[in-house]
Amino acid sequence: MKLSRPILAVLCVVLCWSAAGSALDRSSGADYHARRAALAGKLNGGVAVLFAGEEPLLDFMPYRQDSDFYYLTGWNEPGAALLIEAPAAAQGTRPARAYREVMFLPTRNLRMELFTGRKLDAASPDAPRLTGVDEVRPMSDLAVILNQIAAGDRTMMYRVWSEPETEQAKSLLAWTAATLGMEHAPPMKDVRGAVAELRAVKDADELMLLRKAADASVQAQLAMMKAVHPGQRERTVAGIILEKLMENGCERPSYAPIVGSGEKSTELHYAENSQTMQAGDVVVVDAAGEYSMYASDITRTLPVNGHFSARQREIYDIVLGAQRAAMEAFVAGKSRINDPQHKYPDSLDTIAWNYMNAHGKDLHGDPLGKYFIHGIGHSVGIDVHDPYDYSQPIQKGMVFTIEPGIYIPEEKLGVRIEDVFYVKQDGTLECLTCALPKEAEAVEKEMRSR
């Protein structure tokens, strides 16, 4: 079939846009809608305003959507805003309000689009279908609509849930207060805490993406295990991991890969990866990917020359035993994590710490618990450290890490073992990353299989 040039041009614009728009696996529109409705239920009859991420100042730097905005919309373009108005029954002179959701899209910048590609604006007839949000308006209507909501019921200005730290939210509230003749904008409520509560428990689509992130990360770590050997550069190994992550569908690593050998195995956030690995050392490799905005997080520790020394093996097995002890002690709805001060006697941190203190000694005969210098784990989701109130126990439906470590600088010996777990509806744990070898012999065998 031969198409005329104008038709081809139109078709290209439509297809190019939808190809860009489908670069990530999205949840269903119904899922995002359900998340927005759930947020409305947490607003005490108020209104929430959230802002999308901004294009980086240097347009060749990477852009990543704001995590809360993505969770609620699946929308991956910069500069948008979302307003959610909670439904409320009539009260006194105040009329009843229905649930309302509006996505505000920025004005297109045709010059910038030469660099960034086409962006959707509210004038596009497809905008409601493509965004999946009931109403789509130009960004210039955001202040107008907030003014209308508050003009109809002034108490709404005291029930605005937004992002108190952002300039956009502060400006919007100040301007709206001015349009209503108020001297100051009342303090806004922090919407991030409310969204964090929702993000903690993963739905089926989120779990699917977390599995894909985990699977890709396992593949990358397997490639890493074949690449570690004396004389190999840490940075080369980091590069091999990045290649495998992207080959397996990840858009980026979920954090800067850590490949730390020798004394750097004891440095928690070492990501310089600038050394050449030496026989006789161990290397801690903490690296994983992000698949369609969902993160994974894996650490393995390897002997650079393919064989743990007796001392390395002793410490390795204690860390592995501590991870197993924490897994076995887990009780959904009861166990806490991220308790590095060991305030809770039954937190998974305390379980792992007790295990370390009961097994092995340092060179001075002291117990090993003092070398476990970080939390046992954290929630994982759209962010590798997903927000969570760690004073609360881990619930069914959550995804989190168990990652004990012992770091003894005096011995140039650091060991961390980290996996990601899903709490099933029956309360038991499913490990999403345990297809990757972690018993000492299994790691050595995998290294030999290159």
The binder of ligand GLY chosen from 403, 419, 444, 446 (CB under 6 A): 403
**Residue 137 bridge partners (DSSP):** 104
Q: CA nearest 48: which of 205, 228, 206, 172?
A: 172
Nearer residue to ligand GLY within complex by CB, 159 or 438: 438
Which H helix or E strand runs over 433? none
How crowded is residue 426: how many other Cβ atoms within 10 Å of its Cβ?
Answer: 7
* Backbone angle region of 306, left / alpha / beta, with phi > 0 → left and psi within -120 to 50 → alpha: left
Number of residues that bind Mn ion (CB under 5 A): 5
For the CB of residue 347, give the shortest distance to Mn ion in the complex, in Å: 16
What's the per-residue H, E or C state across 221-281?
HHHHHHHCCCCCEHHHHHHHHHHHHHHCCCCEECCCCEEEEHHHHHCCCCCCCCCECCCCC
Nearer residue to ligand GLY within complex by CB, 76 or 301: 301
For the CB of residue 26, give the shortest distance to ligand GLY in the complex, in Å: 25
Rounded CA separation 138/107 (Å): 7
Residue 238, contacted partner among ligand GLY, Mn ion, none, CB below 5-8 A by kind: none
Residue 335, contacted partner among ligand GLY, Mn ion, none, CB below 5-8 A by kind: none
Q: CA nearest 281: which of 299, 257, 306, 300?
A: 306
The binder of Mn ion chosen from 248, 347, 401, 433 (CB under 5 A): 401
User: Is 286 a residue that touches ligand GLY (CB under 6 A)?
Assistant: yes
The binder of Mn ion chosen from 286, 290, 386, 444 (CB under 5 A): 286
CA count, 13 A, side-chain hemisphere, 239: 6
Q: CA nearest 369: which of 356, 350, 378?
A: 356
Residue 101, contacted partner among Mn ion, ligand GLY, none, CB below 5-8 A by kind: none
Residues 402-421 within binding reach of Mn ion (CB under 5 A): 418
* CB 357, CB 368: distance < 8 Å: yes
- 283-297 b/e (C-beta count within 10 Å ≥ 16 → b): bbbbbbbbbbbbbbb
**Residue whose C-beta lies closest to ligand GLY:** 286
Rounded CA separation 200/206 (Å): 11
Tokens 């699917």 belong to 208
Nearer residue to ligand GLY within complex by CB, 219 or 401: 401
**Interacting span for Mn ion (CB under 5 A) from 111-119, 172-180, 363-371, 393-401:** 393-401
Nearer residue to ligand GLY within complex by CB, 336 or 378: 378
The binder of ligand GLY chosen from 51, 255, 294, 355 (CB under 6 A): 255
For the CB of residue 184, give the shortest distance to Mn ion in the complex, in Å: 42
The binder of Mn ion chosen from 66, 101, 141, 297 (CB under 5 A): 297
Rounded CA separation 450/446 (Å): 7
The binder of ligand GLY chosen from 349, 418, 419, 446 (CB under 6 A): 418
For the CB of residue 280, give the shortest distance to ligand GLY in the complex, in Å: 26
For the CB of residue 297, give the shortest distance to ligand GLY in the complex, in Å: 5
Residue 161, contacted partner among ligand GLY, Mn ion, none, CB below 5-8 A by kind: none
Nearer residue to Mn ion within complex by CB, 289 or 303: 289
The binder of ligand GLY chosen from 66, 68, 297, 446 (CB under 6 A): 297
* Token pair belonging to 151: 């003009």
Residues that bind Mn ion (CB under 5 A): 286, 297, 299, 401, 418
Binding region for ligand GLY (CB under 6 A): 255, 286, 297, 378, 384, 403, 418
